[in-house]
C-alpha cells in the first residue's frame, strides 16, 4: 500500500519540503487516472453490449422471414437449392437425444452429488471426484464425440443413443457440481429433525434432503439441458444427420437442429442458408426456454434466498 | 381408537425391524451413490484409454512428426498436425487478447462502479451471451460479423500495417483473426462471470481501508482489489482459454480450413477441433485414427490448462 500511495501520501503527513505545485499535479494525475479507469470500464461494458444486440437482432431479422408454420412442421427438401420445408426432423431429433441424455445424466449426476455431500464428505475420494468433475466440464465437446465414436459408433453404427451418450457425458459434470452446491445448502437442522424422528439416512435423503433441494437441482439440470441442446460437434461424430424424421434409436443416423444449422451455414445456396437462419432462431429460442425455466426454478428456490 | 392405532404402529415398527430390505436400504443406497460418484472418474479414464488406444497406430507410424510436421495428406498416409496445433493456439491467443481486458472491464464495472439499476440488466445480458450455441455464433460470424465488420478492419490492417508480418495481406475474410474475434465473444461471458465471483469475494474491509487512506476508486481497485483477486483472475482467464482451445463449430466455419502455418493473422488457417469436425465424415482407416490422435493431443492440452486453472481458482475460493 505504502509504495502505491507513496507520492500522494506525503502531503497527508506533512507539506514541508513539498512544493504546493507538485502536490497539485500529483493530485491531478490521480484524478485523471481514476477518470480514465472509469471510462475504460464503461467503454468495455458498452463494447460487450454491441455483439449481444447484433447477434439477437440479426438472428431475429434473418430467421423470422423463413420461420413459418411450414418450417416448424415439415422436413427438409432433398435439395439444398429448393425453398420451403423445414427442420421439424431436427427438432424431434434434438428433443429425443437431449431427453435421453437427461434420463442418463440426471439420476447419475444427482446420485453422484449425494455421494459427495452426504457420504463422501471429507474423504479424499470425494475431493478427487469433485476436482475431476470440474476438469470434465472443460473437456472439449468434440473430444467427447470422438470417444463415443470409437467406443459406440464403430461397433453399433450411428444413432440417437450414441448422440445421447455424448450429450449425457457433457451434461454429467454440470449436473453433479450444480446439484452438489444445492445439496450443501440444505440446513442441518432439517436433517437432524428427520434423524430424530427415527428416519434412516437414505430415508432422510430421499424424503427430506432431495425435495428441499429440488428447485435448485432443477435449475442446474435445465442449464445442462440448454448446453446440450446447442452442442453440434459431438453430434456430427455420433448422430450424423438425416433428411427425415427418424424414430429408430440405434443404427440409423438422426438429424438434430444444431447440425442442420451447421450444414446449412456451409452450403452455398441461398435457400439452404435461409433455412439455417430460421433453424438458428428456433435453436436459440429452444435454448432460451430452458434457460428461462432454470431462472424460474431458481426464483422458487428458498435455499438461496 | 387410540389403542388400535398404537397396535398398528407397533406392528409396523416390528415389520420394519424384521424386514431385511429396510435394514439393507441404507448401505445399498450408500454404495449406489458411491458408484455414481465414481462414474465421473470412470468415464474420464475410459475416454482417455479408448481414444489413445485408437490413435496409437498413427502415433507409432508418424512418430514425432505427428506433432512437428505440417504435412497433412491423408491420401499419402502422412499426418503432421502442426498446422492445426498452431492454428488452435493462435486463434485462442487472439481471443484472449480481446476478451481478457473487456471481461475484466465489465466485471470491475459490475462489481465496483456500476449504478445499482444497471447491474442486473447488464449481468443478465452477458449471461445471455453464454447461452447462445456455438453454431449460432458461427452462422452469425460468417454472414454478419465477417462481411460487415471484420473484413473492413482486416483490410485496413493489411493496408496500413501490412509491413508487420502478423498483419501481412492480402486480408482474406476467413482467417485466424475472424475466428479469434468470434471466439473472444464466446469466452467473454465465461471470464466475466468467473471474475465477478472472484471480485465479490474480496473483503469489504480491505476496500474500505483503502478508501480511508484517501484512495480514489481506481487506486482502491489497484491497491486492494486486484492484488487479492490476481490468482483467481488468472484461473478464470485460463478457463476461458480452455474453452477457446476446444471450441469447434464456430472456428470450423470461420478459420478458412487451410492447413498452413503463417505469421499473418489475416490469412486462413485451421485448428485441431475444426479439422476433426470437417474431415471426420469423409475419413476412413488411418485417417480416422489420425483425427482421433489430433483429438487426444487437443484433450491433453486442454486438460493441462484446465487443471492449472482449477487449482488457481480453488485456492482462491478456499482461502
- Residue B268's domain is classified under what CATH number? 1.10.3720.10
**Tens digits of residue pLDDT in A244-281:** 888 888 889 999 999 999 999 999 999 999 999 999 99
Among B139-143, B174-178, B199-203, whose mean pLDDT is lowest?
B199-203
Task: Band the pLDDT of A47: cuts 50, 70, 90.
Answer: very high
CATH number of the CATH domain containing A293? 1.10.3720.10
Burial class (CB in 10 A: 0-12, 13-18, 19+), B74: middle
Q: What is the DSSP track for chain A?
A: -HHHHHHHHHHHH--TTS-HHHHHHHHHHHHHHHHHHHHHHHHHHHHHHHHHHHHHHHHHHHHTTT-SHHHHH-PPPSSTTS-----HHHHHHHHHHHHHHHHHHHHHHHHHHHIIIIISTT-HHHHHHHHHHHHHHTS-HHHHHHHHIIIIIHHH-S-HHHHHHHHHHHHHHHHHHHHHHHHHTS-HHHHHHHHHTT--HHHHIIIIIHHHHHHHHHHHHHHHHHHHHT--HHHHHHT---SS-----SSS----HHHHHHHHHHS--HHHHHHHHHHHHHHHHHHHHHHHHHHHHHHT-STT-
Give the separation between CA B237 and CA A174, rounded to whole angstroms. Answer: 20
A53 domain residue, yes or no: no
- Look at the block and give the residue holding cell 488411418: B286
A51 domain residue, yes or no: no
Percentage of chain B exceeding pLDDT 90: 61
pLDDT score of A17: 61
Query: Residue B2 CB: number of other CB atoms within 10 A?
Result: 6
- Whole-prediction pTM value? 0.89
Indicate whether B113 and B202 sit together in one domain. yes
B213–A229 CB contact, under 8 Å: no
The shortest C-alpha distance from A247 to chain B (Å) reads: 22
Indicate whether B4 and B136 sit together in one domain. no
Task: Band the pLDDT of A295: cuts 50, 70, 90.
Answer: confident
B72 domain residue, yes or no: no
Give the separation between CA A210 and CA A217, rounded to whole angstroms. Answer: 9
Range(s) of the domain holding residue B39 = 1-62
**Tens digits of residue pLDDT in A55-114:** 999 999 999 999 999 899 888 888 888 888 889 999 999 999 999 999 999 999 999 999
Please name which of A232, A247, A248 lies closest in space to residue A88, comparing C-alpha atoms. Answer: A247
pLDDT score of B294: 95
Q: B285, B99 in Cβ contact below 8 A?
A: no
pLDDT score of A25: 82
Give the separation between CA A237 and CA A77, rounded to whole angstroms. Answer: 23
Task: Band the pLDDT of A6: cuts 50, 70, 90.
Answer: very low
B26–A200 CB contact, under 8 Å: yes
A87 domain residue, yes or no: yes
Residues A32-58, mean pLDDT to the nearest whole number: 94
A172–B40 CB contact, under 8 Å: yes
Indicate whether A110 and A25 sit together in one domain. no
A215's CB contacts (< 8 A; 6+ apart) are A297, A298, A300, A301, A302, A303
Indicate whether B166 and B224 sit together in one domain. yes
Nearest chain A residue to B225, by CA: A1
Indicate whether B56 and B87 sit together in one domain. no
Residue with more model confidence, A143 or A1: A143
C-alpha cell at B109: 464495472
Does the structure show a pLDDT above 60 at B45?
yes
A205–B105 CB contact, under 8 Å: no
Residues B131-149, mean pLDDT to the nearest whole number: 94
A183 domain residue, yes or no: yes
| CB-defined contacts A:B, below 8 A | 282
* CB contacts, 8 Å: A132 with chain B: 40-41, 44
Does the structure show a pLDDT above 50 at A10?
no
Q: How many CA atoms lie within 13 A of B299 on its CB side?
A: 25
A233–B39 CB contact, under 8 Å: no
- Paired residues of B78 in beta bridges: B73
Give the separation between CA A279 and CA A88, rounded to whole angstroms. Answer: 10
pLDDT score of B88: 95
Indicate whether A179 and A254 sit together in one domain. yes
B137 domain residue, yes or no: yes
A112–B37 CB contact, under 8 Å: yes
C-alpha cell at B191: 471470464
B240 domain residue, yes or no: yes
- Paired residues of B73 in beta bridges: B78
A54 domain residue, yes or no: no
A283–B133 CB contact, under 8 Å: yes
**Tens digits of residue pLDDT in A146-170:** 999 999 999 999 999 999 999 999 9
Indicate whether B53 and B124 sit together in one domain. no
Residues B52-71, mean pLDDT to the nearest whole number: 91
Indicate whether A17 and A136 sit together in one domain. no
A115–B192 CB contact, under 8 Å: no
A283 and chain B in contact, CB less than 8 A: yes
Residue with more model confidence, B1 or B256: B256
| Residue A16 φ/ψ region, left for φ over 0, alpha for ψ in the -120 to 50 degree band, beta for the rest | beta
**Tens digits of residue pLDDT in A109-149:** 999 999 999 898 888 999 999 989 988 998 999 999 999 99
* CB contacts, 8 Å: A277 with chain B: 139, 143
Of A47, A135, A151, the CB nearest to B50: A151
C-alpha cell at A158: 450411428
Indicate whether B10 and B114 sit together in one domain. no
| Coil/strand/helix, residue B133 | coil
Q: Indicate which of B28, B34, B37, B149 best probes the interface with A, i.e. most A CBs within 10 Å of its own CB.
A: B37
B115 domain residue, yes or no: yes
Nearest chain B residue to A111, by CA: B33
Q: A164, A258 in Cβ contact below 8 A?
A: no
Domain count, chain A: 2
B298–A284 CB contact, under 8 Å: no
Indicate whether B57 and B117 sit together in one domain. no
Range(s) of the domain holding residue A37 = 2-45
A61 domain residue, yes or no: no
Give the separation between CA A107 and CA A99, rounded to whole angstroms. Answer: 13
Of A40, A233, A288, the CB nearest to B273: A233
Q: Indicate which of B140, B184, B239 best probes the interface with A, i.e. most A CBs within 10 Å of its own CB.
A: B140
Task: Band the pLDDT of B172: cuts 50, 70, 90.
Answer: confident
Tell me the pLDDT of chain A averaged across its residues.
89
Does the structure show a pLDDT above 80 at A4?
no
Domain count, chain B: 2
Residues B224-241, mean pLDDT to the nearest whole number: 90
* CB contacts, 8 Å: A241 with chain B: none
Nearest chain A residue to B217, by CA: A34
B66's CB contacts (< 8 A; 6+ apart) are B58, B59, B79, B80, B81, B290, B293
Amino acid at each position: 500500500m505504502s509504495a502505491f500511495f507513496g507520492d500522494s501520501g506525503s502531503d497527508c503527513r506533512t507539506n514541508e519540503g513539498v512544493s504546493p505545485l507538485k502536490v497539485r499535479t500529483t493530485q491531478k494525475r490521480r484524478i485523471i487516472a481514476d477518470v480514465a479507469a472509469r471510462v475504460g470500464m464503461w467503454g468495455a461494458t458498452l463494447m460487450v453490449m454491441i455483439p449481444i444486440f447484433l447477434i439477437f437482432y440479426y438472428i431475429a431479422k434473418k430467421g423470422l422471414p423463413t420461420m413459418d408454420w411450414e418450417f416448424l412442421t415439415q422436413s427438409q427438401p432433398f435439395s439444398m437449392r429448393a425453398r420451403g420445408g423445414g427442420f421439424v426432423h431436427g427438432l424431434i431429433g434434438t428433443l429425443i437425444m437431449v431427453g435421453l441424455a437427461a434420463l442418463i445424466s440426471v439420476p447419475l449426476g444427482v446420485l453422484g452429488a449425494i455421494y459427495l455431500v452426504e457420504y463422501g464428505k471429507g474423504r479424499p475420494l470425494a475431493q478427487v471426484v469433485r476436482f475431476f468433475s470440474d476438469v470434465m466440464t472443460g473437456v472439449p465437446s468434440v473430444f467427447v464425440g470422438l470417444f463415443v465414436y470409437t467406443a459406440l459408433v464403430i461397433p453399433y453404427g450411428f444413432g440417437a443413443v450414441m448422440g445421447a451418450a455424448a450429450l449425457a457425458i457433457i451434461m454429467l459434470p454440470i449436473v453433479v457440481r450444480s446439484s452438489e452446491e444445492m445439496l450443501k445448502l440444505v440446513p442441518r437442522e432439517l436433517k437432524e429433525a428427520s434423524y430424530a424422528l427415527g428416519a434412516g439416512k437414505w430415508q432422510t435423503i430421499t424424503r427430506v434432503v432431495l425435495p428441499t433441494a429440488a428447485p435448485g437441482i432443477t435449475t442446474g439440470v435445465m442449464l445442462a439441458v440448454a448446453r446440450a441442446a446447442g452442442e453440434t460437434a459431438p453430434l456430427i461424430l455420433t448422430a450424423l444427420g438425416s433428411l427425415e424424421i427418424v424414430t429408430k434409436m440405434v443404427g440409423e443416423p438422426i438429424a438434430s437442429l444444431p447440425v442442420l444449422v451447421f450444414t446449412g451455414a456451409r452450403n452455398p445456396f441461398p435457400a439452404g442458408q435461409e433455412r439455417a437462419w430460421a433453424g438458428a432462431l428456433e435453436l436459440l429460442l429452444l435454448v432460451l426456454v430452458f434457460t428461462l425455466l432454470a431462472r424460474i426454478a431458481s426464483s422458487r428456490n428458498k435455499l438461496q434466498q | 381408537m387410540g389403542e388400535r392405532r398404537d397396535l398398528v404402529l407397533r406392528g409396523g415398527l416390528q415389520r420394519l425391524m424384521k424386514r431385511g430390505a429396510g435394514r439393507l436400504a441404507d448401505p445399498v443406497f450408500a454404495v449406489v451413490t458411491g458408484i455414481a460418484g465414481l462414474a465421473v472418474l470412470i468415464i474420464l479414464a475410459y475416454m482417455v484409454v479408448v481414444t489413445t488406444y485408437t490413435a496409437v497406430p498413427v502415433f507409432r507410424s508418424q512418430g514425432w512428426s505427428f506433432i512437428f510436421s505440417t504435412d497433412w495428406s491423408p491420401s499419402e498416409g502422412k499426418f503432421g498436425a502442426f498446422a492445426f496445433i498452431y492454428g488452435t493456439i493462435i486463434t485462442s491467443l487472439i481471443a484472449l487478447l480481446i476478451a481478457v481486458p473487456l471481461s475484466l472491464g465489465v466485471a470491475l464495472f459490475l462489481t465496483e462502479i456500476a449504478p445499482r439499476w444497471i447491474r442486473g440488466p447488464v449481468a443478465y445480458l452477458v449471461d445471455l451471451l453464454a447461452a447462445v450455441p456455438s453454431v449460432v455464433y458461427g452462422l452469425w460470424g460468417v454472414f454478419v460479423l465477417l462481411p460487415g465488420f471484420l473484413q473492413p478492419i482486416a483490410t485496413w490492417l493489411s493496408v496500413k500495417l501490412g509491413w508487420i508480418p502478423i498483419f501481412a495481406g492480402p486480408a482474406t475474410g476467413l482467417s485466424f483473426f475472424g475466428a479469434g474475434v468470434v471466439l473472444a465473444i464466446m469466452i467473454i461471458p465465461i471470464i466475466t462471470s468467473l471474475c465477478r465471483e472472484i471480485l465479490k469475494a474480496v473483503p469489504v474491509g480491505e476496500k474500505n481501508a483503502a478508501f480511508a487512506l484517501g484512495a480514489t476508486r481506481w487506486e482502491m481497485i489497484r491497491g486492494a482489489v486486484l492484488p487479492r483477486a490476481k490468482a483467481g483472475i488468472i484461473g478464470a482467464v485460463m478457463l476461458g482459454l480452455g474453452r477457446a482451445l476446444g471450441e469447434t463449430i464456430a472456428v470450423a466455419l470461420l478459420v478458412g480450413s487451410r492447413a498452413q502455418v503463417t505469421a499473418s493473422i489475416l490469412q486462413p488457417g485451421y485448428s485441431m477441433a475444426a479439422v476433426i469436425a470437417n474431415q471426420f465424415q469423409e475419413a476412413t482407416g488411418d485417417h480416422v485414427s489420425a483425427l482421433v490422435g489430433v483429438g487426444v493431443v487437443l484433450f491433453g492440452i486442454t486438460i493441462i490448462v484446465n487443471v492449472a486453472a482449477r487449482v488457481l481458482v480453488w485456492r482462491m475460493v478456499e482461502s
